[in-house]
């Protein structure tokens, strides 16, 4: 389940760290959305390290991804713990002046609020009325515990213990069991980002330079990683019609067009990815100039198109990866008079430096768009190719086998404090 954990600015914000850990232990993914004042109590790096995902408080961050809408729309459950009197009042009033309140306003997922504040604030008629408003709208309120508060005072207003918050929240959505994916999937708790399809480089508003990639292999990998319990993002360049329509709803799809779009999407995704699979067929060049209007024929003359080189997205991801992040490249090769396709693949692997390179020989147009494929998986140890496994079958079979190879080679999930 994709859980958004909102954290408001109270002394109990430190308990949110344990809520994150507990949720992740039982297989849920957690996006933390603190209010700006929550970060006065607990720093963003703590939330990022514990959740494994970027943290922002501002609706103006990641504007291109319409973050304030997307986080709410993607959530299966929103928990606010601790919820201060101020945040409760803003939610009751329907305000949206930070990322957390905007997220609450956009989500259709169940919302669980765990208030924590001084007794006087909790019992104040304004808070009492706001809580009644939230309850009347179906928000689940976890009554604060009675006990020692920040100072010497004690009374109702204390944030319940993290295990109780998690148990209450899961019961509220009718899921007090660990999620299915938590029950032993080889990639449970991992975030996998897969690129698929062929990039398109615009020549003018209607024409582009493209390639024959169908996207089948990348989409099969996204599906296989999801089936193995991973949280999956599919960065989709152009793919064949219909391929995206029957994917599991919780695979998030980021559509892109060009290599530069791909680079931007992958760099953003890299921040929170445990595994990156670059199955997209990427254009190495793009037109130096893109016509603002449709290019016209000029007499009987031919046409020259100047191309400039695109960045190597995979090489860039490898260069900037964090420790433990696992990166897989793909290569479709043809042999020639001097080298076999395999030799070219080995050379490419050494040049790019990923953890695995999945290569197929497309000499006789055997791979693009077909359901059955044969690949060789090259595994590197430094510059040395240490093993090569030949896998054949449908693209789904190959995807499952490649996914299993990846899962075997991942470093174990670090235990959090």
Q: Which residues are annotated as a binding site for CTP?
A: 284, 294, 311-314, 330, 348, 352
- Nearest distance in Å: CB 198, ligand CTP: 10
| CA torsion through residues 259, 263, 269, 275, sign | positive
Closer CB to ligand CTP, residue 16 or residue 314?
Answer: 314
CB of 106 to ligand CTP, least distance (A): 33
Smallest distance, Å, CB 314 to ligand CTP?
3
- Catalytic residue chosen out of the listed positions 86, 124, 211, 360: 211
- When the beta carbons of 16 and 265 are compared against ligand CTP, the nearer one is 265
Handedness of CA 114, 118, 120, 126 (dihedral sign): negative
Q: How far is CA 217 from the centre of its chain?
A: 19
Taking a C-beta distance cutoff of 8 angstroms, is the pair 193, 222 a contact? no
Q: What is the largest CA-CA distance in the chain?
A: 90
Q: How far is the CB of 370 from ligand CTP (least distance, A)?
A: 18
Residues 6+ apart with CB under 8 A from 392: 372, 373, 374, 375, 398
Query: Among 355, 369, 350, 362, which residue's Cα sits nearest to residue 402?
Result: 355
Q: Are β-strands 285-287 and 307-309 bridged in parallel, bridged antiparallel, or unpaired?
A: antiparallel
Instruction: Report, in Å, the least distance between residue 281 CB and ligand CTP.
Output: 6
Q: Which two tokens stand for residue 234?
A: 């599919």
Q: How far is the CB of 361 from ligand CTP (least distance, A)?
A: 12
Report whether the peptide linkage leading into residue 327 is cis, meaning its omega lies within 30 degrees of zero: no
Residues paired with 30 in a beta bridge: 3
Provide the binding-site residues for ligand CTP, judged by CB under 6 A: 259, 278, 280, 282, 284, 310, 312-314, 329-332, 348
Is residue 67 annotated as part of the catalytic site, yes or no? no
State how far the alpha carbon of 402 is from the alpha carbons of 46, 219, 328, 334, in Å: 33, 13, 10, 21
Burial of 125 (0-12, 13-18, 19+ CB in 10 A): exposed
Region label for 49, one of left (φ > 0), alpha (ψ between -120 and 50) or beta (otherwise)? alpha
Do the bridges between strand 275-278 and strand 191-196 make them parallel or antiparallel, or are there none, so unpaired? parallel
Which residues fall within 8 angstroms of residue 346, CB to CB, at 6 or more apart?
A: 378, 385
Cα 352 to Cα 345: distance, rounded to the nearest angstrom: 10
The distance from CA 189 to its chain's CA centroid, rounded to whole angstroms, is 12
Catalytic residue annotation: 211
């Amino acid at each position: 389940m994709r859980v958004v954990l909102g954290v408001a600015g109270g002394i109990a914000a430190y308990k949110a760290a344990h809520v994150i850990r507990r949720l992740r232990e039982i297989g849920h993914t957690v996006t933390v959305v603190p209010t700006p004042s929550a970060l006065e109590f607990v720093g963003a790096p703590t939330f990022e390290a514990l959740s494994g995902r970027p943290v922002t408080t501002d609706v103006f961050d990641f504007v291109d991804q319409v973050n304030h809408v997307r986080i709410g729309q993607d959530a299966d459950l929103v928990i606010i713990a601790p919820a201060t009197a101020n945040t409760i009042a803003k939610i009751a009033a329907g305000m949206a002046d930070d990322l957390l309140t905007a997220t609450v306003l956009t989500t259709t997922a169940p919302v669980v609020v765990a208030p924590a504040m001084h007794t006087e604030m909790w019992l104040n008629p304004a808070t009492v009325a706001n809580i009644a408003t939230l309850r009347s709208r179906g928000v689940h309120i976890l009554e604060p515990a009675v006990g020692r508060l920040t100072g010497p005072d004690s009374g109702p207003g204390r944030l319940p213990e993290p295990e109780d918050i998690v148990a209450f929240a899961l019961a509220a959505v009718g899921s007090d069991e660990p999620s299915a994916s938590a029950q032993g999937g080889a990639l449970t708790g991992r975030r996998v980002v897969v690129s698929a399809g062929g990039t398109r480089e615009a020549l003018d508003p209607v024409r582009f330079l493209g390639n024959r990639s169908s996207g089948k292999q990348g989409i099969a990998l996204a599906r296989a990683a999801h089936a193995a319990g991973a949280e999956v993002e599919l960065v989709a360049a152009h793919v064949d019609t219909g391929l995206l329509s029957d994917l599991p709803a919780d695979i998030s799809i980021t559509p892109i067009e060009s290599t530069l779009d791909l680079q931007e999407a992958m760099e953003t995704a890299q921040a929170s990815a445990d595994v990156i699979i670059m199955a997209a067929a990427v254009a190495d060049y793009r037109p130096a100039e893109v016509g603002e209007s449709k290019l016209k024929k000029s007499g009987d003359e031919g046409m020259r198109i100047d191309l400039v080189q695109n960045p190597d997205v995979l090489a860039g991801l490898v260069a900037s990866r964090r420790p433990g992040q696992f990166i897989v490249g793909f290569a479709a090769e043809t042999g020639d008079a001097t080298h076999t396709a395999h030799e070219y693949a080995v050379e490419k692997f050494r040049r790019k430096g990923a953890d695995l390179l999945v290569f197929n020989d497309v000499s006789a147009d055997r791979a693009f768009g077909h359901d059955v494929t044969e690949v060789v998986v090259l595994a590197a140890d430094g510059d040395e190719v240490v093993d090569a496994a030949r896998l054949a079958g449908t693209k789904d079979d190959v995807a499952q086998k490649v996914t299993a190879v990846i899962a075997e080679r991942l470093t174990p999930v670090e235990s959090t404090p």
